Chains A and B, each alone.
Chain A
């Protein structure tokens, strides 16, 4: 029985009873966009729950404009402040996942949880969160119209030099360092999660795989970070790890900026391990104590043992970085996480102060239309590579396993 004869028709109901409260409830919450200005007057408080009022206050601060991108996970709109049409924001509307019965998805929860706490020039700013009428979650994010690092790496018309790379890497390293200072792992650093603001600032985005860290005896999942950027300890199934997982990813981004192609691009997790070993050498108990005890460690084929690559390899492979730059890259791509540089050590490295000085952010090479790319980036789920290489996604987070 869908409609009971007892359901009162709001109109006739109002006419009969002159129940002003109900009348205004219908009008107030649905149609009048300016009600929020009269905050807390007794009239308004009776119309809606306080939480709804607070939410509406936030919601009415913004106006949604055109749609920038749509993915399976979210839709991104261009928006602006109601009070200032020139102040752009990106509004990321997270779709309700019908298949996921457990409420709001973990990606959304993580992204909201951590971005609410982080405020740094190199981390995408979350200005506000509100729910729209249909109970969708809307994240009001910083507007970053100049695309991402992936776009610059791939665009052969764009020429950049080591001073530009230094500037980008510096901004990335500061963002990562700040996350780690706040005891948050990003766990999905890759070029298309590094968005570029109008002033050229690089911003770390997509915190869908982020989590807090450092507690002892607490297992974490190793199925994180997009494969090409995933450090060997995670490929070997380590369940207790540290901030330097993000540093490996940073190193891979560094290498990719220098080479303009992904440095180690495996087709499967196994292939990724093989390719890493081919590139950097074969890990063993000498260069990485305890590696053979890691859950998914696979002994190397004795016929294909590659000696651990030293400084001269990095110099040869990345001549543009210069000797100091190659040294920094090597410290970021060290197998043994214990010996890999931390974010703080990366920033203390001598490369930043050697010639050439990093390009001023306003003079960095740029692409004009990055807005669409931002739309695409923000709708992607964490761990995904672009659609074409979707197979590589590190998506299946096994949460139950993660807890052990």
Chain B
């Protein structure tokens, strides 16, 4: 079909479409590579610290620039000397990413006026694509998320200055913090910025349904040439004959409701699940419409593919062969997609999931963050002062020692110190503003529980 070939030229189809198996394998690879690198990096940090303490006994070590806010996360290696470092599993990584995808929706809402749905959706897909080849252990989503959103404002023609954008980001995130990972993000996106969303397609479908309802329907091109069964009137009659669902007054109302519900699904479930990787935008919005109003969606599909009615002549069946052959496969695919969409539950509304998340992000990720990537300037941004760039490993290593001048690596005291420091940090975070939606909320809740 011509429309399908149109989609096949897109970078989304060429680079960002996967089978369920290949998607899983990709995530497994990413996780494995990142885990290895994290372990190696932490070990290096320990090495550096040990050699440092032996050479600089007693002398206070100067603080290194550029390793300020996040430097504490590099303090844990001491503990790791005793225990093997526990890395995130691919599933845990995915949950973490999903959480920050939800955060994008909220962050976008916080702007005045709120950022357009499509900008937020693009940012979410950027984040999801980014974490196919990167691990949250390497780059914390907290740092990547605002960058992805800012990049989306640029690529989706909703341009605002970085300063303006940074003002909308709660907390003390600076403009530099936001822009620092931009290159890493773009490289991970393989320099493809176009995301094909299902939103505009939904509008098209609704337009057609409204035309059908108004008796202005057009028969599908394949059916138009061969049969007289589809006329605007017959199409309208068919639509009106659908068994009425619960509360709709009339067909216009029904379409409007379906429209609204579908759109909500596309804004939430379609964004946070894997459907963009596994299905096409046309399939996604139709699957969402099936969830919203199954009868309506199926009738609409029938007008496109022809009814599988046995009464129709052989000739007719042959004529619409291309589309008719598509039918069973398409229905299966739409069902798969619908199942996936329906299974989605917003993380924030589910206490069980939040509890798990708190464990993952608040504790586990905190310990297995790659110390060499903590400062994203280390990833090579030219804007970051060269001193920070010189050796991120060294910076991390240096930052690991300043507190304990006579630190002998004793695990007990180190753990105590770490715990204290973390508490202080969380306290600071909670005081910095309740609007912190960068995962601060999670940590806050943890402190409350304690």
> Which of chain B's residues 59-95 have a Cβ closer than 8 Å to chain A?
61-62, 64-65
In the complex, which residues 99-146 of chain B have their Cβ closer than 8 Å to any Cβ of chain A? 133-134, 138
Chain B, residue nearest A10 (CB) = B391
Q: How far is the CA of A116 from the CA of B15 in the complex (A)?
A: 11
Chain A minimum-CB-distance residue to B192: A116
The residue in chain B whose Cβ has the minimal distance to the Cβ of A214 is B200
B40, B62, B390: which contacts A46 (Cβ < 8 A)?
Answer: B40
Whether a CB of chain A sits under 8 angstroms from the CB of B324 is no
- Residue of B9, B193, B382, B398 touching A4 (CB-CB under 8 A): B398
Residues A8 and B150 in contact in the complex (CB < 8 Å), given A101-B175, A109-B193, A116-B191: no
Query: Is the C-beta of A340 less than 8 angstroms from some C-beta in chain B?
Result: no
Q: Which residues of B have CB within 8 Å of A215?
A: 200
Q: Are A40 and B29 in contact (CB under 8 A)?
A: yes
B138 CB to nearest chain A CB (Å): 7
Is there contact, CB below 8 Å, between B194 and A113?
yes
Choose, from B158-166, B248-256, B281-289, B325-333, the stretch at the interface: B158-166
With a cutoff of 8 Å between Cβ atoms, the chain A residues found around residue B190 in the complex are 54, 129
> Is B416 positioned at the interface, with any CB of A under 8 Å from its CB?
no
In the complex, A399 has a CB within 8 A of chain B: yes
CB proximity of B346 to chain A, nearest CB, Å: 28
* B151 located at the interface, meaning its Cβ lies under 8 Å from any Cβ of chain A in the complex: yes
Question: Which of B9, B47, B65 is within 8 Å of A13, CB to CB?
Answer: B47
Chain A residue nearest in CB terms to B196: A117
- Is A86 an interface residue, CB under 8 A from the partner? no
Does the CB pair B183–A50 fall under 8 Å? no
Is A103 touching B150 in the complex (CB atoms < 8 A)? yes
- Chain A 221-258, CB-CB to B under 8 Å as 1, else 0, gives 00000000000000000000000000000000000000
B401 within 8 A of A: yes
B134 near A51 with CB under 8 A, answer yes
Chain A residue with the shortest CB-CB distance to B53: A6
- On whether the beta carbons of B194 and A51 are closer than 8 Å, the reply is no
Interface residues in B31-45 (C-beta closer than 8 Å to A):
32-33, 36-37, 40, 43-44
CB pair A50 B134 closer than 8 Å: yes
Work out how many contacts link A and B, with CB atoms closer than 8 A.
Answer: 149
Taken residue by residue from 320 to 345, chain A's Cβ proximity to chain B (1 for < 8 Å, 0 otherwise) reads as 00000000000000000000000000
Size of the B side of the interface (Cβ < 8 Å), in residues, is 63
Chain A residues contacting B138 (CB-CB under 8 Å) are: 49
Contact pick for A103, options B65, B151, B187, CB 8 Å: B151
Tell me whether A400 and B160 are in contact in the complex, defined as CB-CB below 8 angstroms, given that A45-B29, A50-B134, A117-B10 are known contacts.
yes
Given contacts A1-B62, A7-B394, A54-B133, A103 and B154 within 8 Å (CB-CB):
yes
Determine whether the beta carbon of A51 is less than 8 Å from that of B184. yes
A135 within 8 A of B: yes
For residue A131, CB closer than 8 A to chain B, the reply is yes
| Nearest A residue (CB) for B40 | A21
Q: Are A50 and B30 in touch, CB under 8 angstroms? A: yes
Residue of A nearest to B200 (CB): A215
B182 at the interface (CB under 8 A from A): yes
Point out the residues of chain A lying under 8 angstroms from B406, CB to CB: none
A402–B9 Cα distance when bound, in Å, is: 29
**Are B134 and A403 in contact (CB-based, < 8 A)?**
no
| Contact assessment for B55 and A400 in the assembled complex, using a CB-CB cutoff below 8 Å | no
CB neighbours (8 Å) of B33 from chain A are: 45-46, 49-50
Given A4-B398, A103-B162, A109-B154: A116 in contact with B29 (beta carbons within 8 A): no
State the CA gap A106–B158 with chains docked (Å): 11
Chain B contact surface mostly: helix
How far apart sit A63 and B383, CA to CA, in the bound complex (Å)?
28
Q: Are A117 and B11 in contact (CB under 8 A)?
A: yes
Those of A93-109 within 8 Å (CB) of chain B? 96, 101-104, 106, 109
- Which residue of chain B is the closest to A126 with respect to CB atoms? B191
Q: Is the CB of B44 within 8 A of A112?
A: no
Asked if B183 contacts A131 (CB within 8 A), the reply is yes
Are the C-beta atoms of A4 and B160 separated by less than 8 Å?
no
| Residues A102 and B55 in contact, CB atoms below 8 Å apart | no
The answer to whether A8 and B393 have CB atoms under 8 Å apart is: yes
Interface size on A, residues (CB 8 A): 52
| Contact string against B for A residues 196-227, beta-carbon threshold 8 Å, 1 for contact and 0 otherwise | 00000000000000011001001010000000
Question: Residues of B contacting A309 with CB < 8 Å?
Answer: none
Task: Report A113 CB to chain B, min CB distance, Å.
Answer: 4
A57 to B51, CA, bound (A): 37
Identify which of residues 1-53 in chain B touch chain A, using a CB-to-CB cut-off of 8 Å: 6, 9-11, 29-30, 32-33, 36-37, 40, 43-44, 47-48, 51-52
B207 nearest CB across to chain A (Å): 12
Chain B residues with CB under 8 A of A103: 150-151, 154, 162, 179, 182
Task: Encode contact with A along B153-173: 1 for CB under 8 Å, 0 otherwise.
Answer: 011011111101000000000
The answer to whether A212 and B155 have CB atoms under 8 Å apart is no
Known: A113-B155, A116-B193. A49 touches B382 (CB 8 A): no
Q: Is B214 an interface residue (CB 8 A)?
A: no
Partner of B382, one of A40, A51, A117, A134: A134
Q: Does A119 touch B at the CB level, under 8 Å?
A: yes
Residue of B nearest to A45 (CB): B33
Are A117 and B381 interface neighbours, CB within 8 A? no
B40 cross-chain contacts in A, Cβ below 8 A: 19, 21-22, 46
Q: Digit string of A114-137 for contact with B (CB within 8 Å is 1, else 0)? A: 101101000000000111001101
| CA of A16 to CA of B158, assembled, Å | 53
In the complex, which of the residues A4, A52, A54, A137 has the most CB atoms of chain B within 10 Å of its own CB atom? Answer: A4
- B22 vs chain A, min Cβ distance (A): 13
- A220 to B175 alpha-carbon distance, docked (Å): 26
The 8 Å CB contact of B186, one of A6, A46, A104, is A104
User: Are A8 and B37 within 8 A (Cβ)?
Assistant: no
Q: Mark A23-44, 1 if CB is under 8 A from B, else 0.
A: 0000000000000000010000
Could you say which residues of chain B place their CB within 8 Å of the CB of A6? 48, 51-52, 55-56, 61, 394, 397-398, 401
B232 at the A interface (CB under 8 A): no
Q: How far is the CA of A7 from the CA of B294 in the complex (A)?
A: 64
In the complex, are the beta carbons of A4 and B161 less than 8 A apart? no
Establish whether residues A50 and B382, one from each chain, have CB atoms under 8 Å apart when the complex forms: no
Instruction: Return chain A residues, CB-CB under 8 Å to B32.
Output: 45
A215 CA / B61 CA spacing, docked (Å): 59
24 A–B contact pairs at CB < 8 A? A4-B398, A6-B48, A6-B55, A6-B401, A7-B390, A7-B394, A17-B47, A22-B40, A40-B29, A45-B29, A45-B32, A45-B33, A46-B33, A51-B133, A102-B179, A109-B155, A116-B192, A119-B9, A135-B183, A211-B157, A399-B159, A400-B160, A402-B159, A403-B159
Q: Which 8 A-B pairs have the closest CB atoms?
A: A7-B394, A129-B191, A399-B159, A113-B193, A102-B162, A6-B52, A103-B182, A50-B133
Chain A contact residues, CB within 8 Å of chain B: 1-8, 13, 16-17, 19, 21-22, 40, 45-46, 49-52, 54-55, 96, 101-104, 106, 109, 112-114, 116-117, 119, 129-131, 134-135, 137, 182, 211-212, 215, 218, 220, 399-400, 402-403
Q: Which of B's residues lie within 8 Å of A, judged by CB?
A: 6, 9-11, 29-30, 32-33, 36-37, 40, 43-44, 47-48, 51-52, 55-56, 61-62, 64-65, 133-134, 138, 150-151, 154-155, 157-162, 164, 175, 179, 182-184, 186-188, 190-194, 200, 380-383, 387, 390-391, 393-394, 397-398, 401
User: A113-B193, A134-B382 are known contacts; what are 14 more A-B pairs with Cβ within 8 Å?
Assistant: A4-B394, A5-B52, A6-B61, A7-B391, A16-B51, A50-B30, A52-B187, A102-B162, A102-B179, A109-B155, A116-B194, A117-B9, A399-B159, A403-B160
